[in-house]
Amino acid sequence: MEEIGTLIVGGGIAGLATAWHHARAGGEKILLLESERLLGTQSSGRNAAILRTVGPDSLTTRLSLRSAQVLRRPPAGFTQVPLIDPCGLFLVADASHRARLAAWVDAAGPDSGGVEVGPGEFHRQVPFYGGEVDRVFSFPQEGRLDIAALVAGFAQGARAAGVTIRRGVRVKRLSTRGDRVTGVELADGTNVAAVTTVVAAGGWAGRLGEAAGSRVTLSPTRRHLLISAPHASIDPKWPVIWSLGDEFYCRPESGGMLVCACDQTVVDPSDCRRDDHVRELIAEKMLRFLPGLGDMQAARFWCGLRTMTRDDRFVLGPDPDLAGLFWVAGLGGHGMVCSFEIGRLAARRLQGGEPISEEERALDPARLVEASA
Ligand X SMILES: Cc1cc2nc3c(=O)[nH]c(=O)nc-3n(C[C@H](O)[C@H](O)[C@H](O)COP(=O)(O)OP(=O)(O)OC[C@H]3O[C@@H](n4cnc5c(N)ncnc54)[C@H](O)[C@@H]3O)c2cc1C
Please, what is the minimum distance in Å from the beta carbon of residue 306 to ligand X? 5
The CB-nearest residue to ligand X is 12
C-alpha–C-alpha distance, residues 80 and 67, integer Å: 19
| Helix (H/G/I), strand (E/B), else coil: 251 | strand
CB of 52 to ligand X, least distance (A): 7
Quick one: which of 23, 226, 336, 347 contacts ligand X (CB under 6 A)?
336
Binding of ligand X by 71 (CB under 6 A): no
Size of the site for ligand X (CB under 6 A): 40
14 vs 244, which CB is nearer to ligand X?
Answer: 14
Q: How far is the CB of 198 from ligand X (least distance, A)?
A: 11
Residues 153-192 that bind ligand X (CB under 6 A): 170-171
Residue in 7, 30, 33, 308 binding ligand X, rule: CB under 6 A: 33
For 31-42, the DSSP string reads EEEESSSSTT-S
Q: Are strands 30-34 and 4-9 parallel, antiparallel or unpaired?
A: parallel
How far is residue 207's CA from residue 105's CA, in Å, rounded to a whole number? 36
Looking at 4-12, 22-30, 81-89, 353-361, which segment touches ligand X (CB under 6 A)? Answer: 4-12
- Altogether, the residues listed in the chain come to a count of 373
Break the chain down into helix, strand, coil percent, rounded to 5.
Answer: 35, 30, 40
Exactly one of 334, 348, 349, 367 binds ligand X (CB under 6 A); that residue is 334
Helix (H) or strand (E) holding 207: helix 205-211
In the bound complex, what is the minimum distance in angstroms from residue 139's beta carbon to ligand X? Answer: 14
Min dist. Cβ of residue 126 to ligand X (A): 19
CA distance 372 to 175: 25
Separation of alpha carbons 237 and 230, rounded Å: 14
**Residues 224-283 close enough to bind ligand X by CB under 6 A:** 225
Least separation in angstroms between residue 121's CB and ligand X is 25
**Contact at 8 Å (CB) between 258 and 250?**
yes
Q: Which residues contact 363 (CB under 8 A, 6 or more apart)?
A: 59, 313, 314, 315, 316, 317, 345
CA geometry: angle 306, 313, 72, nearest 5 deg: 80
Between residue 192 and residue 211, which ones bind ligand X under the rule CB under 6 A? 200-204
CB-nearer residue toward ligand X: 47 or 138: 47
Binding to ligand X by residue 63, rule CB under 6 A?
Answer: no
Q: Which of 29, 36, 254, 366 lies at the binding interface for ligand X (CB under 6 A)?
A: 36
144 touches ligand X (CB under 6 A): no
Query: Which residue from 34, 253, 319, 364 is in contact with ligand X, where contact means CB under 6 A?
Result: 34
